Chain A
Amino acid sequence: MATDEKKLKKIVDNIVGLPTLPTVLTNVTKMMQNPRVSAAQVGKVIQSDVALTSKILKLVNSAFYGFPNRISTVTHAIVILGFNAVRSTAMSVSVFDSFGGGGETEGFDRMAFWKHSIGCGAASRILAKRLNIKELEEAFIAGLLHDIGLIILDQFVHEEFVKVMKQVKEKDILIRDAEKELLDGVTHNDLGAWLGRKWNMAPALIEVIEAYPNPSSASDNYLLVSIVHAADILTRALDIGSGGDNRIPKINKSAWEKLGIDMADLPSILQEIVDSAKKAEAFFTMVNK
């Protein structure tokens, strides 16, 4: 076991009572491995969870997806928006259910954090759409969960997190930098990735959570990591919610180039992000206050 992993283990070993992924979501993910599974079959499984179903329907009918007609069943949602969109809304709902509430840590505004996360998800989806990537929903969920490690810290490693936030405020530095100093080199990215593995998230998602601050360290999913890297920075620049600190990290040049964004298009992209983040407000209502 590498030193870093040892240090991480030291922290996570003390975590007690971590929520598990809802069985429904685990089952859906498993079902979708079978290419012959139909929308009706998946829909039936999701519909067994009434609370989840109503939240999913609320999301798929929101301005974020913007389908002109009303979608009345999960199955319809699947046939109209696709399997991935429905799974990603289910995943969002589960995350909000598990981690949405609580949080009174000084200097860390949970609501602002979720706003930033949802904004980053919307921004990632827009960048992915511009790049013509088929997995738009994966980009959305990756953006949404990129900083999920902060919630783990806040909720389960609270004492250290309070110190981290104190230092962030005093020195006006990035959370990451404070974490490295106070958590023995372990960051919320490491914790987020740890959660991802525990929850059986897709490998691409885990890589994004782990590598988005430094895309050069990504391997298989360089493009997706670059997208979230840029989306995080653009969302911070647009001041949508708060990532926990007040800084804008330095953009990675090769990641930015990989996205091939013409500087002349940037104003229209930023506007699109602002509009889309607004449309994604339905997600924000799912966060338990």
Chain B
Amino acid sequence: MNSDEEKNLQQELDFLKSTNQDLRRSIDELTILQEMLKGISGEHTLEGIIKRFTDIIKKKLLVKGYIFFEIGESAKVKPLYSENLTEWDITEKYGISKSILEWVINEKQISNVPSIAEEDEGSSLLMIPFYTSVKNFGLISVAIETRADDALTVDVSETLKLSASQVAIALENLKLYHDIEEDTKNLSELKNFMSNILDSLVNGVITFDNEKRITHINRNAYIMFGITEVDIIGKKYEECFPEHLSSIIDFILKETNEKGFVLDYQVNYELVGGVTIPLGISTSILRDENYETIGITVVSRDMTASRELDRLRTLDKMKSDFVSTVSHELRSPLTTIKAYLDTLMHRVDENDKETRAMFLETIEKEANRLYNLIEDMLDLSRIESGKIQLELEYIDITDIVKEVVKLCKMQTEKHAIHEEMPETLPKIMADRDRLTQVFINLLNNAIKYSPQGKNIWVKVEEKEGSLRVSFKDEGFGLKEEDKYKVFEKFYRVDSQQTSDIGGTGLGLPVVKKLVEMHHGKIEVESEPEKGSNFIVILPIKES
């Protein structure tokens, strides 16, 4: 070995030794670094992450200050926060423009530039980008008290690379964490919003999951169903609803599962204190985005208002029907009266007393018909609108019947009216005047629709807890199809025999209503040409 070779060998050995020593030191430092890197991923704030990162740099280099730049809109960098370093510093002392910062980010390149200011000759500015495969987060500019060419050893740049990627991962986690937090916040706001809407509904709304647990209940459902338990979300309804409500829910859930929905199931729901409210309950199946059944929504509404509305609607319709029919019915006698009066005034000789008397008679007859018609109409309308109140008292019905027969016998001598009634009958609660009206009406009809000389039987009997008062005649009788129609308003049997007989078509409807007000009913037996029998049946106990 010559001396040159010996020198070379010595150099090689020295190099190897120092490299080995340096490697060992680096390994020790890497162990510390690893611990510090773990700390980065444990941070949950941006400040914390950056602080940890600068702590690592501080282990290696003398740090003067730093600025963290984030990537803002249209990929421009903007300073987020800093410590002992300003944007002015990095521009003036290190000659760093925004375009260099952006170059660092785009090239994903850790760079270190020397200071250009004389007083800062020994310092340099490190620029370290933070990025993951999916996102660039920004960069940190760190001013260090070391010349650029001495600072960035292979070791330091490896450490920086390693910790920068750790920071990027932590930043990504942080972003995900914030996104989740944001989502959760939005979700709870939405939930609150929906719950407020549900609470503002006048309907009661309850939702159940597939295991019959309550998943939501709005304020009105609590009130409507008189639910007193609190904290019922998540509980099975059998455990916290009043028993009668549970059985209703049992039924409608079963119906819903079978048919897919329930529409306005009507129930009179009794609240504590005996108050009953009419409810209409509807349901539908709740499904998720895959159309899987996830539960059932139950909506109940208080029908009190809608029932009242229904009643008023019916009444209104009745009235308008009534007015249209009545105006027609009123017009015909009036037309007759007007025509006769016209003729009488302008055409009939003043001295022709016979003709005048005949005309006046017709006018009187029509006027009477008009009067009766109006009376009947008023009666009927009062009954139908519920304005007539019966004045009930215990009465002996035979008294009334006798009275009526007596009255009618005075009107006709051409029919034979026979009475048939037991000596004693139980008294019933009834309105004397109204029953008189009923019986007069029926007996008058029997007289009107029977030819002269025929018999009429008025019979009172007690049968099956009721009093039966029948008016049987030997008159024209009714066809089968007319038997029920005679109780309809303004229905007149259309036949040759009865065409001359005056009537309003309201008598029997009034009779029927009055009898029904007494909780009774009216029946009719009849055959054409053989006669009719109208039977009023009044309960003995109930009225």
Interface contact B99-A40, CB-CB below 8 Å = no
Interface contact B108-A80, CB-CB below 8 Å = no
A134–B147 Cα distance when bound, in Å, is 25
Interface contact B152-A38, CB-CB below 8 Å = yes
Interface contact A36-B26, CB-CB below 8 Å = yes
How many B residues are at the interface, by size bracket?
Answer: 35 or more
Interface contact B154-A34, CB-CB below 8 Å = yes
Interface contact A83-B157, CB-CB below 8 Å = yes
Nearest-Cβ distance from residue B24 to partner chain A, whole angstroms? 10
A39–B22 Cα distance when bound, in Å, is 16
In chain A, positions 53-80 with a C-beta closer than 8 Å to chain B are 65-69, 75-76, 78-80
Residues on the B chain within 8 Å of A136, using CB = 108
| B314 interface hit (Cβ, 8 Å) | no
Interface contact B148-A76, CB-CB below 8 Å = yes
**A35-B152 in contact given A68-B97, A80-B111 (Cβ < 8 Å):** no
Interface contact A35-B103, CB-CB below 8 Å = no
Residues on the B chain within 8 Å of A23, using CB = none
- Residue-wise interface mask of B (148-172) relative to A, using a CB-CB cutoff of 8 A (1 in contact, 0 not): 1111111101100100000000000
Which residue of A35, A36, A68, A79 is within 8 Å of B112 (Cβ)? A79
**A132-B109 in contact given A34-B154, A37-B153, A69-B100 (Cβ < 8 Å):** no
| A6 interface hit (Cβ, 8 Å) | no
Nearest-Cβ distance from residue A119 to partner chain B, whole angstroms? 19
A136–B154 Cα distance when bound, in Å, is 16
Q: Return the chain B residue nearest A136 by Cβ.
A: B108
Which residue of B111, B114, B131, B154 is within 8 Å of A32 (Cβ)? B154
Residues on the B chain within 8 Å of A81, using CB = 109, 111
| B113 interface hit (Cβ, 8 Å) | yes
Nearest-Cβ distance from residue A163 to partner chain B, whole angstroms? 45
Interface contact B97-A36, CB-CB below 8 Å = no
| A43 interface hit (Cβ, 8 Å) | yes
**A132-B95 in contact given A36-B155, A78-B152, A82-B157 (Cβ < 8 Å):** no
**A76-B114 in contact given A38-B149, A69-B100, A82-B157 (Cβ < 8 Å):** yes
A205–B147 Cα distance when bound, in Å, is 33
Which residue of B26, B113, B133 is within 8 Å of A132 (Cβ)? B133
Q: Is the interface of B mostly helix, strand, loop or mixed?
A: helix
| A33 interface hit (Cβ, 8 Å) | yes
| A258 interface hit (Cβ, 8 Å) | no
| A248 interface hit (Cβ, 8 Å) | no
A79–B152 Cα distance when bound, in Å, is 6
Residues on the A chain within 8 Å of B99, using CB = 68
Interface contact A79-B151, CB-CB below 8 Å = yes
Which residue of B26, B111, B148, B154 is within 8 Å of A83 (Cβ)? B154
Q: Return the chain B residue nearest A65 by Cβ.
A: B107
Nearest-Cβ distance from residue B16 to partner chain A, whole angstroms? 10
Interface contact B149-A40, CB-CB below 8 Å = yes
A34–B18 Cα distance when bound, in Å, is 8
Interface contact A68-B154, CB-CB below 8 Å = no
Interface centre among B19, B23, B112, B154 (most CB of A within 10 A): B154
Which residue of A35, A69, A79 is within 8 Å of B26 (Cβ)? A35
Residues on the A chain within 8 Å of B131, using CB = 132
Nearest-Cβ distance from residue B165 to partner chain A, whole angstroms? 8
- Residue-wise interface mask of B (14-51) relative to A, using a CB-CB cutoff of 8 A (1 in contact, 0 not): 01001100110110000000000000000000000000
Residues on the B chain within 8 Å of A37, using CB = 153-154
Q: Return the chain A residue nearest B112 by Cβ.
A: A79
Residues on the A chain within 8 Å of B103, using CB = 66-68
- Residue-wise interface mask of B (110-135) relative to A, using a CB-CB cutoff of 8 A (1 in contact, 0 not): 11111000000000100000011100
Which residue of B95, B100, B157 is within 8 Å of A67 (Cβ)? B100
A38–B107 Cα distance when bound, in Å, is 22
In chain A, positions 111-139 with a C-beta closer than 8 Å to chain B are 129, 131-132, 134, 136
Interface centre among B25, B97, B109 (most CB of A within 10 A): B109
A81–B132 Cα distance when bound, in Å, is 20
Residues on the A chain within 8 Å of B148, using CB = 39, 75-76, 79
Nearest-Cβ distance from residue A270 to partner chain B, whole angstroms? 19
Interface contact B150-A40, CB-CB below 8 Å = yes
Nearest-Cβ distance from residue B255 to partner chain A, whole angstroms? 53
Residues on the B chain within 8 Å of A66, using CB = 103, 107
Q: Return the chain A residue nearest B102 by Cβ.
A: A68
Which residue of B25, B133, B149, B158 is within 8 Å of A39 (Cβ)? B149
Q: Return the chain B residue nearest A129 by Cβ.
A: B108
Residues on the B chain within 8 Å of A134, using CB = 161
Nearest-Cβ distance from residue A134 to partner chain B, whole angstroms? 6
A37–B103 Cα distance when bound, in Å, is 26
Q: Return the chain B residue nearest A36 by Cβ.
A: B22
Q: Return the chain B residue nearest A75 by Cβ.
A: B149
**A35-B158 in contact given A80-B112, A131-B133 (Cβ < 8 Å):** yes
A76–B200 Cα distance when bound, in Å, is 71
A31–B327 Cα distance when bound, in Å, is 121
- Residue-wise interface mask of B (473-502) relative to A, using a CB-CB cutoff of 8 A (1 in contact, 0 not): 000000000000000000000000000000
Residues on the A chain within 8 Å of B154, using CB = 32, 34-37, 83
Interface centre among B97, B131, B152 (most CB of A within 10 A): B152
- Residue-wise interface mask of A (23-53) relative to B, using a CB-CB cutoff of 8 A (1 in contact, 0 not): 0000000101111111110010000000000
Chain B residues with CB under 8 Å of chain A are: 15, 18-19, 22-23, 25-26, 95, 97, 99-100, 103, 107-114, 124, 131-133, 147-155, 157-158, 161
Chain A residues with CB under 8 Å of chain B are: 30, 32-40, 43, 65-69, 75-76, 78-83, 129, 131-132, 134, 136
Interface pairs (16), CB distance under 8 Å: A32-B154, A33-B19, A35-B154, A35-B155, A36-B22, A36-B155, A43-B149, A66-B103, A68-B97, A68-B99, A76-B148, A79-B112, A79-B113, A80-B111, A80-B113, A81-B109
4 further interface pairs, Cβ-Cβ under 8 Å (given A39-B151, A69-B100): A36-B154, A68-B97, A79-B113, A80-B109
The 4 A-B pairs at the shortest CB distance, nearest first, are namely A35-B155, A40-B149, A79-B112, A36-B22
